[in-house]
Chain A
Amino acid sequence: DTAVSQTPKYLVTQMGNDKSIKCEQNLGHDTMYWYKQDSKKFLKIMFSYNNKELIINETVPNRFSPKSPDKAHLNLHINSLELGDSAVYFCASSQDWDRSYEQYFGPGTRLTVT
């Protein structure tokens, strides 16, 4: 009965590779998010989708591309991985855009680029 799930939990890959992280929520929420947490634990918003529509697109390299096939899923594809992409990536969801203050986070995907 996991609320927000992410796969994989750990991802180790080499520079230059392309990888995807998947996120699913079973809460019936309309809004989903991707965050990056760096080595200093700073959590920063990357993208947000509301009803499959891109709402927030922060200044991230265009090597990062989110895709929302339906309201329950938000995937993150990363092209040409770089060392600086190593971080923990969190997916989150909220009931709707107006309730963004109440977000439910997934367990995170720890990405290591070698």
Chain B
Amino acid sequence: QKEVEQDPGPLSVPEGAIVSLNCTYSNSAFQYFMWYRQYSRKGPELLMYTYSSGNKEDGRFTAQVDKSSKYISLFIRDSQPSDSATYLCAMMGGSNSGYALNFGKGTSLLVTP
């Protein structure tokens, strides 16, 4: 079992829909949880990061972490065609377990006008 599992999709939604992207993980040492967005033929860019459990909101994006269930989510409200990209979740431990990022395989999202 990989440490980070993510459904690759593709996920297709109409413009304006609420999008829910999810990842599960197995390593309880993970403390930092990130979401990166990658447009086709570009490098990943950091959208948001969360430390430990809880919610974090940034504009139309909300990240949720449930450490008890080892489950993280990214919600996109009022989705736009410009949100069409691959979304990668990433996780890492803290000083005692190393700072290497562990990525999911990414979920491909298509927002249609």
Which residues of A line the B interface, CB within 8 A? 4, 40-45, 48, 56, 58, 90, 92, 97-98, 100-108, 110
Contact = CB atoms under 8 A, between A and B. Distances in A.
B44 A98 contact: no
Contacts, number: 53
Interface string B45-86: 110010000000000000000000000000000000000001
B106 A105 contact: no
Contact of A48 (B44, B46, B100, B106): B100
Interface residues of B, number: 21
B100 A100 contact: yes
Contacts of B100: 45, 48, 56, 58, 100
Contact of A43 (B32, B41, B92, B103): B103
B105 A104 contact: no
By DSSP majority rule, is chain A's interface helix, strand, loop, or mixed? mixed
Interface of B: 8, 32, 34, 41-46, 49, 86, 88, 92, 95, 98-101, 103, 105-106
Contact of A103 (B42, B46, B86, B105): B46
Contacts of A43: 44, 88, 103, 106
Contacts of B106: 41-43
A102 B92 CA distance: 11
A90 B105 CA distance: 15
A90 B101 contact: no
Nearest to B51: A101
A41 B103 CA distance: 10
A109 to B, nearest CB: 10
